[in-house]
Structure 1
């Protein structure tokens, strides 16, 4: 009974921390102090930006450009436009989406400069794109980014101690191939004056506004973000994953210039990506607050600094449930893994049983194979076995998250339990994660913390229980289990938001981490036949629920959020 109560307590702690870590900060009202970023004030800009769809070359896009130039000019910025024509391939894309056949489409960037005291110093640049896709008001993508810059510039324009210039780059044509960014960084004279750059993007309508990409050799850049962000959101795991994906933003055109750079985006409410329902009313103001306040904090720190961040070795960084950010040199991962090996090794050596150790490892590997296999098959059942509509699959992410949760818990109920082998089996279950962490540390050291840190905490708790058993040791175990489980829940939520429609199997990673953390709190004796029957019945119910959700996704009508230019807004399942 004691273990069951502690297990429930650890799960409750984990759920509370996961909710905390996935919830954006409270938006500040329009009457907030002038020095602060206010989502309430920024929403006034969003309401104007997203009053109607404004794809490149449209009359609404031209009207929006005039409004943005008036707003920047009123804040004291010196501005001009950079003009060209869309290349043929991009023009064909825009014409296909709108159903038009325009022979020429103008490409117009807005470039504005807020002068600092020393015009010779490298400038700080803030960038977002002001075009939207055809048929979408684009309140998030990228109305949120543009509004964040306008509110940031309002705050900076009243700051008298600015050393250096701030350059605002509002690009055109991002939605048709980064055309405006390529034009700016290829031809604009201001490009050579930039020393640091913040880019703002979205893929959805809310959630945490994460730092998901940085410039190379990001040590100084990551440390500055960690020191300034009021409610930090970002990880070096995300920056590593993004670096190996084929995705691009406007920052892609800037990175070859060697600027210190930060890229922020939120991807929650994923169905609103490029959606006709991406209206100001549907925009998460907490996400807007978090995006803008991180941008303002970085910009404010840099405009007064004698020097901008340079290049230094990449470091590990991550926010701790949105409360603060930790960062450290990547080699600390080896120290953490050594602590994990030592702690679990101490547990297993005190009463070494090869069969129990190997049994624990096999059980963890069986959990991985079972959960991954189930998620793969469920994903196919949900409609991924044939052509799918990308935007419809994005809208299905919340249901796919439920599917993954049901399948993961069912697999645990079927394969984990009967802990008569005790602490040695616990060490065995940790062994695959320790070995995977070592491989991760060798090949992707800035991302390896995802395993190294939980293994260090778990190993430390195991060592304390072995050396000084008693109440304090179990209190530490519950605390570690709650913290690690909360992180695992948060990680699973983020991974499924990012790649859930194509690879829900990524949920296996946080599942492994959570199971390993909770293992010491499982009942110490083999369950009775009645309890085993109840566990199996619950697993069957959960698997049936996962199958039901998968079929719901497969058979459901196309979501109302599907992009207007997508052919499958009428024909579900086609591209």
Structure 2
């Protein structure tokens, strides 16, 4: 129980953004309170591309950039293409195309203007019908506050460029135009883009340019409370999602993408107002972007291309980073530890352990799929309504996976060999992941090594110290897996919640060495109660009215 509670505490710590800092902190630090002044000014009303409100926003931003000592220009980004115009027509009902796009560009001169510049990027337009306090006013306001802090600290070593793009919501129109033919693009060496899909939560650095080894080493040195993982980078490369960073990825730039996705009901919502923006998320974005920007500006040379690395934050306390090939060594250590346990304790229970872990993963995935299906409303699903349901879907996932654990694991006395058996399906997954996607495999191979090596030495430490060490490792792995499952549910929980079955199964594996079995009848009764509660929750989501946060223009994602 202590390991479970410790894991929950670590997960909460890892997924909670910092408290917003007030305006009286040192002037060279990022203050969400100061940034909120801009958020309230910009996000008072929807300001889509071509609107009168967006013209007011652009005028305000020009004045703000000039006040921060930047040389400011406006750049025509051409006209909206046919696809963007079609989206605009669906939003507004108007058949005429929106007005020409206008990007805003600010340059803060550095001491050595021959050096490649660092660019901060966000988009100034919103979707139709949403004030966009998060998407992307938070990114715009964070940019302004970062520039203020850097300007206050003195002239940077190299130029700092700000690009506020137009037409992002119509298909990355302004960014595509800038990186296609604006001469300033040839001056840029590094890019930090800021986005949001929701209204709060931790800000994650979720995407980089290819060959990110040196880029991530610099990130690790300069960001004090990071939220980042190479698993997210791997997944984002294969998913069909785009941001303004997309047009840069084939260019010679060192690129980073930041976003928060908590409070997902507020994505493109008419209720995405400044008062509903999580100021802790804004503080988190600003702290990470400021630290990284300062590091890039001060660097003697910007990071060169180097092989992709494995990286993940340690509950926000720092960043673990290592070459992808080291994953094989981690797997080898896991295998050595598990083999020593079998040598000492025998092999009785290996098959049972493997069967139970395989059954747990399969049953949890099936239950997650089935209850997610049960929660769907009749007719085609509304993307934004499903986003609004994510907090309840997370509770639903916890209920059904706990039921799966109660049915498969709760009454089992695994013994040491049984725990090793439970590791075998995970070892197989780890080997496949390390072979096919080495930068994404750490979520499996690192817990296997931690638990395997701890098992190998725990019995030699005596009952008290050995059990205590197993409980600590169980809490650490459980905390990380709960945080990862939370991130998965926020990202794809509305459509693919079954993906969360794996991290939850790994958490159970880490807890098995100190597992207190319960009577079989109690386990079955517990599972029944959990599934009953899950059924009630799924039906309540199914029959609930359409969320009042749904985007004003849509009954589908677009």
> Could you state the TM-score of these two structures normalised by the residue count of structure 2?
0.97
2:440 counterpart SS class? coil
Return the offset for 1:298.
1.2
Residue equivalent to 2:359: 366
**Distance 1:330-1:68 versus aligned 2 partners, 3 A rule:** same
Cα distance in 1 between the residues matched to 2:302 and 2:36: 30
Cα distance in 1 between the residues matched to 2:12 and 2:97: 51
Q: 1:556 aligns with which of 531, 538, 544?
A: 544
Q: 2:201 aligns with which of 207, 219, 236?
A: 207
Cα distance in 2 between the residues matched to 1:509 and 1:352: 27
Q: 1:50 aligns with which of 33, 40, 43?
A: 43
Residue equivalent to 1:485: 478
Residue equivalent to 2:530: 542
Unaligned runs of 5+ in 1: 1-7, 569-573
Residue equivalent to 2:277: 283
Moved more, 460-469 or 298-307: 460-469
Unaligned runs of 5+ in 2: none
Residue equivalent to 1:340: 334
Residue equivalent to 2:494: 501
Return the offset for 1:465.
2.4
Cα distance in 2 between the residues matched to 1:418 and 1:505: 24
Return the offset for 1:61.
0.3
Cα distance in 1 between the residues matched to 2:341 and 2:290: 49
**Distance 1:223-1:385 versus aligned 2 partners, 3 A rule:** farther
Residues matched between the structures, number: 557
Cα distance in 2 between the residues matched to 1:464 and 1:417: 25
Moved more, 333-342 or 379-388: 379-388
1:18-97 equivalences under 5 Å are 18-83=11-76, 84-97=78-91
Cα distance in 2 between the residues matched to 1:27 and 1:160: 24
Residue equivalent to 2:435: 442
Cα distance in 2 between the residues matched to 1:142 and 1:249: 11
Conservation of the 8 A alpha-carbon contact between 1:403 and 1:546: yes
Cα distance in 1 between the residues matched to 2:29 and 2:140: 17
Cα distance in 2 between the residues matched to 1:298 and 1:324: 14
Cα distance in 2 between the residues matched to 1:270 and 1:421: 40
Return the offset for 1:479.
0.5
Conservation of the 8 A alpha-carbon contact between 2:109 and 2:155: no
Return the offset for 1:99.
2.2
Return the offset for 1:226.
1.2
Q: 2:188 aligns with which of 190, 194, 197?
A: 194
1:257 counterpart SS class? coil
Cα distance in 2 between the residues matched to 1:511 and 1:73: 50
Return the offset for 1:161.
4.4
Moved more, 147-156 or 97-106: 97-106
Cα distance in 1 between the residues matched to 2:310 and 2:378: 37
Note the aligned Cα RMSD (angstroms): 1.5
1:563-574 equivalences under 5 Å are 563-567=551-555
Cα distance in 2 between the residues matched to 1:353 and 1:156: 61
1:166-565 equivalences under 5 Å are 166-354=160-348, 356-383=349-376, 386-523=379-516, 531-565=519-553
Conservation of the 8 A alpha-carbon contact between 1:384 and 1:502: no
Which stretches of structure 1, 4 residues or more, deviate above 3 A after TM superposition? 417-421, 466-469
Conservation of the 8 A alpha-carbon contact between 2:330 and 2:445: yes
Residue equivalent to 1:4: none
Cα distance in 1 between the residues matched to 2:423 and 2:466: 19
Conservation of the 8 A alpha-carbon contact between 1:346 and 1:466: no
Cα distance in 1 between the residues matched to 2:378 and 2:422: 33
Q: 1:142 aligns with which of 136, 142, 146?
A: 136
**Distance 1:103-1:205 versus aligned 2 partners, 3 A rule:** closer
Cα distance in 2 between the residues matched to 1:461 and 1:546: 35
Residue equivalent to 2:104: 110
Cα distance in 1 between the residues matched to 2:394 and 2:321: 29
Cα distance in 1 between the residues matched to 2:414 and 2:216: 44
- 1:214-236 C-alpha deviation (Å, 9 max, x unpaired): 01000111111111112211111
Conservation of the 8 A alpha-carbon contact between 1:347 and 1:466: no
- 1:31-75 C-alpha deviation (Å, 9 max, x unpaired): 221100100000000001101000000000001000000100111
> Could you state the TM-score of these two structures normalised by the residue count of structure 1?
0.95
**Distance 1:104-1:471 versus aligned 2 partners, 3 A rule:** closer
Return the offset for 1:386.
5.0
Conservation of the 8 A alpha-carbon contact between 2:126 and 2:136: yes
Return the offset for 1:136.
0.3
Return the offset for 1:350.
2.1
**Distance 1:421-1:400 versus aligned 2 partners, 3 A rule:** closer
Conservation of the 8 A alpha-carbon contact between 2:105 and 2:162: yes
Return the offset for 1:421.
4.9
Moved more, 61-70 or 158-167: 158-167
Conservation of the 8 A alpha-carbon contact between 2:410 and 2:523: no
1:156-171 equivalences under 5 Å are 156-171=150-165
Moved more, 383-392 or 287-296: 383-392
1:217 counterpart SS class? coil
Moved more, 301-310 or 365-374: 301-310
Conservation of the 8 A alpha-carbon contact between 1:273 and 1:391: yes
Conservation of the 8 A alpha-carbon contact between 1:91 and 1:105: no
Cα distance in 1 between the residues matched to 2:79 and 2:536: 50
**Distance 1:283-1:104 versus aligned 2 partners, 3 A rule:** closer
Return the offset for 1:142.
0.1
Conservation of the 8 A alpha-carbon contact between 2:202 and 2:284: yes
